[in-house]
A and B are shown apart, each in its own frame.
Chain A
Amino acid sequence: MKEHARHWLGAYLDGELRGLRLRWVESHLKECAVCHSELEALARLRTLLLESPAMEAATPPDRFVAQVALRLPRRQEQPPAQRALELSWRMVPVGLLFALAFVQTAFTIAGVLQVALSMGLGGDMVALLLPSSGGGVSFPDLAGLSQASLAGAFGAMVELIQTGGALAWFPVLYLSLLVVIGLLYWSWLATWWARRRHQQLTASNNRL
């Protein structure tokens, strides 16, 4: 026990002990004269060490800084194209996240629409939208698309859902997209890990 406490005296002197160990060493010091004198010896050693003078720099600070500045090598700058590529690479997960959000949203809306139509809730809407229905709804002319083409595209989609064709390809398409996004993400992660490991190995080889 005494030997063990002696092992911690240096750390105690350095103020590195906390909690139980600190209290243990403190209480031990009160009852152990050997450890107490050991601690005093360590404190004397510390005082003695500080008697060794620091170096008085021969070079004034300004001159030292100037000398360092003169010896600084040109640092290799990363070309802008490479920087842009690096930034794009870092943004890949964000892009994949957006793609995932888009797929989820699109398929949720389509699913809701499908359920609504199957329950007969969208009958009037279909009648209005399908070109063959002859409905008199006025669509705004968005992005240069004509009223007929907008109504046609939407109508075709609704018709496809209504006829039950979507039931077959919806889950397959949904899962395929999820798998593709997942694969892309894991590939990115694996590449990131490989690059990081390579950089760490290079850094340890090029010891500072």
Chain B
Amino acid sequence: MKPRVIVAVGAALMVLAFGSAAFAQTDCKKLVPASPWGPNDQTGATNRITPAVTKAAAAEIKDGKVIVMSYPLTDGVPLFGSRFTKTILTAVSLAPGAAFGENELTYMEDTWLSQSHVGTHLDGMGHIGRKDCYYNQTPMGKFITQNNMTKLGLEHLKSFATRGVIVDMVKVFQQANKFKGNSACKKPCLEKGTVITAADIQAGLKMYNVTLREGDIVIIHTGWGDLFEQFPAQNALYNSGEPGIGKDAATWLISQKVVAVGTDTWAVEVIPGENPKEAFIVHNMLLTDNGIHIIENVRTDLMAAEAAATSRATFFFSMTVPKAVGLTGNFVAIEGIR
């Protein structure tokens, strides 16, 4: 082959190679907005939790009362199709003669088989995308292995030590005379398919005279979690739909620069959705486009009751998220400290 031909073929191959890479990049730039924290950002909205935000949130701790905001992590809670949990206890050292040493030490441990998005859990940046484009225009096809993601994993998240705000949507709908419940709930719950709007959230905040601050985590009580608590009896009903925020509410929460939105439901957003041809659109809006986390299956009833009893809807939000490398999400423990 003549050198000129070799050069031409080489140039063509380079154009193809770089061209295809540029094409993927261009696609994601069309599909997903850039992060306000720069092209290398893998952290998302927890960037908003600065030392000043955490310090201000600490002022919410007045008497040290701790409110549990996560459900027990156990086999039998509502899950979806192929998702499963299975705990297996290893207790061999309890067998006669199996203890160690003169002190007859025994031990036990567990095998915990589970997907990461079970129980009370956090959706990370790598959970939801548009096509293969994820948060911060990440062409995710280039950053996945057989085992995990090499970008946007939970290890990149900052602290969640910030102010939490409970919004009692049951009360909002009751006071507005538009409450429609489900008879399977032992306590009042909004019916599945109930759309929560921005105006509803604003009414809930006004009820306790709260103004959202940048860096807040908003927790919405719908009452639907009552069905989760009845597991396994109401698992099918719990999974069949849910009340939740619609696009209007999501847009407003994004404008308030919150860090996360959590509810006592399995998807935070209203199911069935507002447009039957859109799939989990609020997930796209919050996670993919804005890096705002979604926290599902949050236990909200205790904090809602506490807010009602004290006329205060804010608290210090304490949540542990493992530095799970390359994971798209994980179960979490949440406590609201007052």
Are A and B interaction partners? no
Residues of A within 8 A of B (CB): none
